[in-house]
Amino acid sequence: MHAPEQFDAGLMWFRRDLRCQDNAALFHALRACRRVYGVFVFDTEFLDPLPRADRRVEFMHRSVEALDADLRALAGNADAGLIVLHGPARTLLPELAQALHVQAVYTNQDYEPAAITRDNQVRGGLANVGISLRTAKDHVIFERDEVLSLSGTPHTRFSAYCAQWLAQLTPFHARAYEVETHAARLATRPEVWRTPVPALQELGFHATNLAQLALLPGRAGALTQWQEFAARMDQYHLTRDYPAVRGPSYLGIHLRFGTLSIREVVQLAWDRYRQGDPGATKWLVELVWREFYIQLLTHFPHVVEHAFQKDMDRLPWDHGPHGRKLFAAWCAGQTGFPLVDAGMRQLHATGYMHNRLRMVAASFLTRQLGVDWRWGERHFAEHLNDYELASNNGNWQWAAGTGCDAQPWFRIFNPTAQSLQYDAQGKFLRRYLPELARLPDEEIHAPERASPIELEAAGITLGVDYPAPIVDLGEARRAALQRHAAIQQERRR
Ligand SMILES: Cc1cc2nc3c(=O)[nH]c(=O)nc-3n(C[C@H](O)[C@H](O)[C@H](O)COP(=O)(O)OP(=O)(O)OC[C@H]3O[C@@H](n4cnc5c(N)ncnc54)[C@H](O)[C@@H]3O)c2cc1C
């Protein structure tokens, strides 16, 4: 972002930063321009491929409504607020900027390849009419080349990246952008754009079960969730791995849509980390994982389609009818492995999936079922509320053993052992697999091991009420090791 210069008018383009507090691009726009308009585009080129009922779209829609209200309150002017458009941003943005006679458009950097392509198109469209596009860093603390190895190359080991990230962090990086100081510059919208945010239905979408979930959208929702988590952050390291426990923050969706600023959460976690708080330390490290994968995506965009370790593209995934059948059972939460099935059903019922279950489900699909990680990655991308290309891709490749700093090829999670370890009393399993609820704690993790009497007492006929395991774990493990061993052998040649 350049030094302040005085423009008569600027346009702030909100995307995955749906808040007016501590917003880098908005701050820069307000400092540089005497009048600043705000716009949000429901971009059809991104929305059209989505299912017509999508929790992310509903969350985004409600957060845009809240942002509109917040902007007007901040401006102290009911006629300020958001201009909301529906169509391709690629063409609508330059048209709007020209019609408003602004000299510059401000926006926060998006690091996903499709967004970068779109932004380049917008930049070109704006340049054609003599308007500049200015981007700011907002979504991360450190971007692209800001945390490099001593030799100037991107880090591919998380431990080294994390150590350097923490060493480089200063109060400056976590300081909030004081948008409020310049709020008087938020402009009154010309009358033609003083329209309410279109209803979800007008955008071509239906309501989901979002309202029934403990997931409040907008800035207010983000703050409620953040305060709730901040009060138990000190326990995070002890509770985060147990899916039946309220251990994680559930803030992923707010970080994804920018209803929460990364700086405000890092500031508190970092303060507590410096006081030696183990919960805050662990949580801060998770935020570093997020940035690790974002920088990885910018440096190695081939990961979108290919294995990070390029020779891993030769792994012989089962793409045939058998693989498709296994994949369908996995998607439906009908594999016969309760922890995997409960995780997949949590995903479909809520759009959230506990991190431990994401790891177990991804490992199971790619290692034990031999199904291509890209299939699983796509399924998660369609359903996760907090879907981020960088994190989803990085973690899928980690689980499949194809990624950067991945799970070693010979370490394969056993889903039954994971279930016994992390949900010993089967509380989480019972929540999402009611058909198994009456099994005793010892048997619920592997119903096929229950005696016929126990199954009968629990009202379960295997293969009818709940599937028998779709693979033999021992055989599946051997096959997985063989697949990877072939690549390892080639490497040694
Ligand atoms: C197969 C797989 C797919 C995943 N897909 C996504 C995804 O699409 N989007 C996503 O944000 N996370 C993804 N994760 C990482 C992690 O599971 C989620 O970030 C976390 O479960 C979100 O819940 P939370 O906000 O309660 O997390 P918390 O445990 O409270 O963590 C706080 C924040 O740290 C970040 N974070 C935590 N763990 C990771 C991680 N392993 N990698 C990157 N960032 C992390 C997230 O921003 C998260 O919101 C995936 C993990 C796996 C194993």
Residue nearest to atom 24 of ligand 1 (CA): 250
Q: What is the CATH number of the domain that holds 280?
A: 1.25.40.80
Does residue 20 sit within a domain? yes
Per DSSP, 138 falls in state -
**Same domain (yes/no): 125, 154:** no
For 155, the token pair is: 């880090």
Q: Are 275 and 283 in contact (CB under 8 A)?
A: no
Residue nearest to atom 38 of ligand 1 (CA): 286
Does residue 182 sit within a domain? no
Q: Any known ligand binding at 293? A: yes
**Same domain (yes/no): 460, 396:** yes
**Same domain (yes/no): 375, 271:** no
Q: What is the pLDDT of residue 4?
A: 61
Stated as kind and residue range, the H or E segment containing 290 is: helix 278-299
Catalytic residue list contains 317:
yes
Does residue 205 sit within a domain? no
Q: What is the CATH number of the domain that holds 350?
A: 1.10.579.10
CA atoms within 13 A on the CB side of 179: 18
Residue 24's closest CA among 237, 194, 175?
175
Alpha-carbon distance 87 to 42, whole Å? Answer: 6
Any ligand 1 atom below 6 A from CB of 443:
no
Does residue 60 sit within a domain? yes
Does residue 2 sit within a domain? yes
Catalytic residue among 165, 396, 398, 409: 396
**Same domain (yes/no): 161, 246:** yes
Q: Are 50 and 57 in contact (CB under 8 A)?
A: yes
**Same domain (yes/no): 234, 251:** yes
Q: 276, 299, 322: which is the final residue of a domain?
A: 299
Does residue 200 sit within a domain? no
Q: 115, 139, 163: which is the final residue of a domain?
A: 139
Alpha-carbon distance 375 to 442, whole Å? Answer: 33
Alpha-carbon distance 267 to 423, whole Å? Answer: 33
Residue nearest to atom 29 of ligand 1 (CA): 248
Q: What distance lies between CA 482 and its chain's CA centroid?
A: 33
φ, ψ dihedrals at 38, nearest 5° = -120, 140
User: Counting atoms of ligand 1 from 1, which one is nearest the CA of 384?
Assistant: 8
Q: How many other C-beta atoms can be found within 10 angstroms of the C-beta atom of residue 378? A: 13
Q: Any known ligand binding at 45? A: no
User: Counting atoms of ligand 1 from 1, which one is nearest the CA of 354?
Assistant: 21
Q: Are 312 and 491 in contact (CB under 8 A)?
A: no
Does residue 399 sit within a domain? yes
Q: What is the pLDDT of residue 3?
A: 54
Task: List the pLDDT tens digit at each of the 493 positions of the chain.
Answer: 555 668 999 999 999 999 999 999 999 999 999 999 999 999 999 999 999 999 999 999 999 999 999 999 999 999 999 999 999 999 999 999 999 999 999 999 999 999 999 999 999 999 999 999 999 999 999 999 999 999 999 999 999 999 999 999 999 999 999 999 999 999 999 999 999 999 999 999 999 999 999 899 999 999 999 999 999 999 999 999 999 999 999 999 999 999 999 999 999 999 999 999 999 999 999 999 999 999 999 999 999 999 999 999 999 999 999 999 999 999 999 999 999 999 999 999 999 999 999 999 999 999 999 999 999 999 999 999 999 999 999 999 999 999 988 778 888 999 999 999 999 999 999 999 999 999 999 999 999 999 999 999 999 999 999 999 999 999 999 999 998 888 888 888 7
φ, ψ dihedrals at 367, nearest 5° = -90, -60
Q: 266, 299, 332: which is the final residue of a domain?
A: 299
Any ligand 1 atom below 6 A from CB of 286:
yes
Q: Is the dihedral of CA 110, 115, 120, 124 positive or negative?
A: negative
Q: How many other C-beta atoms can be found within 10 angstroms of the C-beta atom of residue 480? A: 21
For 370, the token pair is: 């031999």
Any ligand 1 atom below 6 A from CB of 395:
yes
Residue spans of alpha helices (H) in 300-439: 321-332, 338-350, 355-363, 373-383, 389-400, 415-422, 427-432
Domain total in the chain: 3
**Same domain (yes/no): 128, 96:** yes
Does residue 287 sit within a domain? yes
For 316, the token pair is: 């012989």
Any ligand 1 atom below 6 A from CB of 391:
yes
Distance 355 CA to ligand 1 centre (A): 6
Q: What is the CATH number of the domain that holds 20?
A: 3.40.50.620
Q: What distance lies between CA 347 and its chain's CA centroid?
A: 13
Amino acid identity, position 176? A
User: Which of 342-365 are b and which e, b meaning 16 or more Cβ less than 10 Å from the residue's Cβ?
Assistant: bbbbbbeebbbbbebbbbbbbbbb
Angle formed at CA 365 by CA 362 and CA 366, multiple of 5 degrees = 85
Alpha-carbon distance 85 to 95, whole Å? Answer: 11
**Same domain (yes/no): 450, 328:** yes
Largest Cα separation within the chain, whole Å, is 80
Distance 185 CA to ligand 1 centre (A): 37
Any ligand 1 atom below 6 A from CB of 292:
no
Alpha-carbon distance 141 to 262, whole Å? Answer: 7
For 394, the token pair is: 């990085």
**Same domain (yes/no): 156, 80:** no
Q: What is the pLDDT of residue 226?
A: 98
Cα separations in angstroms, 285 against 57, 112, 263:
29, 22, 14
**Same domain (yes/no): 265, 315:** no
Stated as kind and residue range, the H or E segment containing 105 is: strand 104-108
For 273, the token pair is: 């980390």
**Residue 334, SS3?**
coil
**Same domain (yes/no): 126, 170:** no
HEC string for 366-380: HHHCCCCHHHHHHHH
Catalytic residue list contains 165:
no
Alpha-carbon distance 363 to 235, whole Å? Answer: 27
**Same domain (yes/no): 357, 381:** yes
**Where do we find the tokens 């991308």?**
381
**Where do we find the tokens 């507590």?**
272
Q: Is the dihedral of CA 114, 118, 124, 126 positive or negative?
A: negative
Domain that residue 289 falls in: 141-177+221-299
Angle formed at CA 333 by CA 406 and CA 453, multiple of 5 degrees = 115
User: Counting atoms of ligand 1 from 1, which one is nearest the CA of 229?
Assistant: 30
Residue spans of alpha helices (H) in 300-351: 321-332, 338-350
Non-local (6+) Cβ contacts of 268 within 8 A are 230, 233, 280
**Same domain (yes/no): 328, 454:** yes
Amino acid identity, position 423? D
Any ligand 1 atom below 6 A from CB of 228:
no
